[in-house]
Amino acid sequence: MAIPKEGSHLYLSHVSRSIANTSPSLRKIETYHGPGNPEHHGFSGPIQVSDGPFRGRTIEDDWLQAAEQVGYPEIKDLQSLDTNNGFQRWLKYATPEGKRSDVARGYIHPRLRDGKHPNLHVLVEHNVVRVLFDERKRACGVEFTPNTRFQPQANGSASQANQTVRARKLVIVSCGACGTPPVLERSGIGGKDVLDRAGVPLIQELPGVGSGYQDHLKVPYVFKTSLKEDETADALLSGRLSLKDAIAQEHPHLGWNFVDLASKIRPTDTEVAALGPEFQAAWDRDFKNRPNKPLMVMVIVSGLYGDNASVLPTGQFLSILPFTAYSYSRGHMHITGPEVSDALDFDTGFFNDKNDIDLKKLIWGYKKGREIMRRTKMYRGEHQPCHPRFPKGSKAALDEEWNQSVDGSPVVDLEYSTEDDAAIEQYIREHVETSWHSLGTAKMAPQDKMGVVDKNLNVYGVEGLKVTDISIAPENVGANTANTAMVIGERAADIIAKELGIIIK
């Protein structure tokens, strides 16, 4: 749940010292039901963190003993800000009974129902078009429109015209890394060239809006196993067990997200050197002397992650999802017109980083995950559609017809040739995915460093407008990004309450 500390949880620049001390906010978020030092966790927050009602213990035990063999021990609690380089029996944003715990259920719904917040109104099924400004460039309201995917239409157009709501003190934009830049740009805040092309009058030139898009790059791989049907999620994922029947049976897997293991891991010095001089330089600069900073997060899914059409209606699988913890790739998110319905210019930027450092990370991650899996008792070969196609005669060829090691002899690492690495690279380029961990498109930084907001979340050059979502993060994080977004929200609430003279109880 926590993020390896790099100056702070959010790897924030000097301008953001007011939200750099995020540990209290992390503890404030959670009600923690797991192991570890109580000083690192909270126990009365709105978000439940627990095992849930079901864990795949056979997979956990088998994987952890195999990971130990390649140098990654089991760590009881990876969620302090310094612990790194091992695997944990991962917890979930879920209640112990198996109900999902999220921002809507933890923060919003209780306040809508408690009768104590009559000034809280939530309008669903609508899109924000733009923020409105007065002649002093002060935010004074918001224009919004029905979401045509949900609202009834007449004669091909939405049944309602655009509407506005006025603000006396403050407008807050919190639409996420992909939603905030379009709102700001449609409002006239952004790069002049972008707004000119889109036909939007310029209010404030901020070229950092929509730039610097970051994500965690991920490529999943699937392995065949000897596991029993009740030990993986494949029955539900493949449809062998229908959701209707599972509900009728009160099946324990319904309270399971199928992820019981994850890690924060780093390569050895030898492995770093093998990735080439450019990778070595990046490692020495950004990772070597920061032992709490992982190169990669590796997640283990108890079932086939991907297209179940590629398998027979039987079989139990395990999937490995390595993703780049601190990606070097950068993309952008911009508007092409003044309306919500206009197409977006979105480029993920995947693999556009100098010297292919992100690609090399994923090549290393594939090899490392495969070596751990080959040392498990459940391993029964690779599921071919979800792996590279190695050249004929390769020493790293897939074990499609599984053969157990002779006489129980130790498993020896596979040898990969230059051609093998090329096959892995091709597969990665063809199958790379988003982790849905977008951030960085309205970053907190000095304005001359492509910053969009200052240390108090104010948008540069205008008044009465703040951004309070994960788009403000100037650099990536070594974890899932949900908790980062919640930390930003908690700190934003403190900042706003102080400015408005509100006492938070």
Query: pLDDT, tens digit, for every residue of 319-334?
Result: 999 999 999 999 999 9
Q: Are the beta carbons of 330 and 352 closer than 8 angstroms?
A: yes
Question: Do 171 and 259 lie in a common domain?
Answer: no
Q: Report the distance separating Cα 475 and Cα 451, nearest Å.
A: 12
What local confidence, expressed as pLDDT, does residue 54 receive?
Answer: 96
- Domain for residue 104, yes or no? no
Q: Among residues 431, 456, 482, which one ends one of the domains?
A: 431
Question: Do 31 and 139 lie in a common domain?
Answer: yes
- Best CA proximity match to 130, nearest among 438, 440, 337, 343: 337
Question: Do 439 and 417 lie in a common domain?
Answer: no
Q: Mean pLDDT, the chain, as a whole number? A: 91
- Domain for residue 182, yes or no? yes
Task: Identify the domain containing residue 77 by its residue range.
Answer: 53-91+217-326+351-431
- Domain for residue 106, yes or no? no
Average pLDDT of 457-482?
96
* Residue 71 belongs to domain with CATH number: 3.30.560.10
Question: Do 185 and 315 lie in a common domain?
Answer: no
Mean pLDDT comparison of 4-13, 76-85, 158-167, highest-scoring range: 76-85
Question: Do 194 and 207 lie in a common domain?
Answer: yes
- Domain for residue 181, yes or no? yes
- Domain for residue 250, yes or no? yes
Count H helices, E strands: the chain? 13, 22
33 is an active site residue: no
Tens-place pLDDT, residues 173-204? 999 999 999 999 999 999 999 999 999 999 99
- As to burial, measured by CB atoms within 10 angstroms (0-12 exposed, 13-18 middle, 19+ buried), residue 166 is exposed
User: Would the annotation count 128 as a binding residue?
Assistant: yes
What local confidence, expressed as pLDDT, does residue 368 receive?
Answer: 98
Tens-place pLDDT, residues 275-319? 999 999 999 999 999 999 999 999 999 999 987 776 666 789 999
Question: Do 58 and 159 lie in a common domain?
Answer: no
User: Would the annotation count 364 as a binding residue?
Assistant: no
* Residue 184 belongs to domain with CATH number: 3.50.50.60
- Domain for residue 96, yes or no? no
- Domain for residue 109, yes or no? no
**Exposure class string for 363-395: b at 16+ Cβ within 10 A, else e:** bbbbbbbbbbbbbbebbbbbbeebbbebeeebe
What local confidence, expressed as pLDDT, does residue 306 receive?
Answer: 85
Q: Among residues 382, 412, 431, which one ends one of the domains?
A: 431
Question: Do 172 and 29 lie in a common domain?
Answer: yes
Q: Is the pTM of this model over 0.75?
A: yes
Token reading at 273: 């050197």
Question: Do 232 and 208 lie in a common domain?
Answer: no
Pick the catalytic residue from 253, 334, 383, 437: 437
Question: Do 427 and 451 lie in a common domain?
Answer: no
**Residues facing residue 318 across a β-bridge:** 223
User: Number of structural domains, the chain?
Assistant: 2
- Domain for residue 141, yes or no? yes
The dihedral formed by the CA atoms of 183, 494, 28 and 434, expressed in degrees to the nearest 10? 20
What local confidence, expressed as pLDDT, does residue 402 receive?
Answer: 75
Whether pLDDT at 427 is above 60:
yes
What local confidence, expressed as pLDDT, does residue 79 receive?
Answer: 87
Question: Do 272 and 401 lie in a common domain?
Answer: yes
Question: Do 284 and 271 lie in a common domain?
Answer: yes
For residue 236, what pLDDT band results from cuts at 50, 70 and 90?
A: very high
Q: Among residues 396, 431, 466, which one ends one of the domains?
A: 431
Question: Do 75 and 205 lie in a common domain?
Answer: no
* Amino acid letter, 212: G
What local confidence, expressed as pLDDT, does residue 125 receive?
Answer: 92
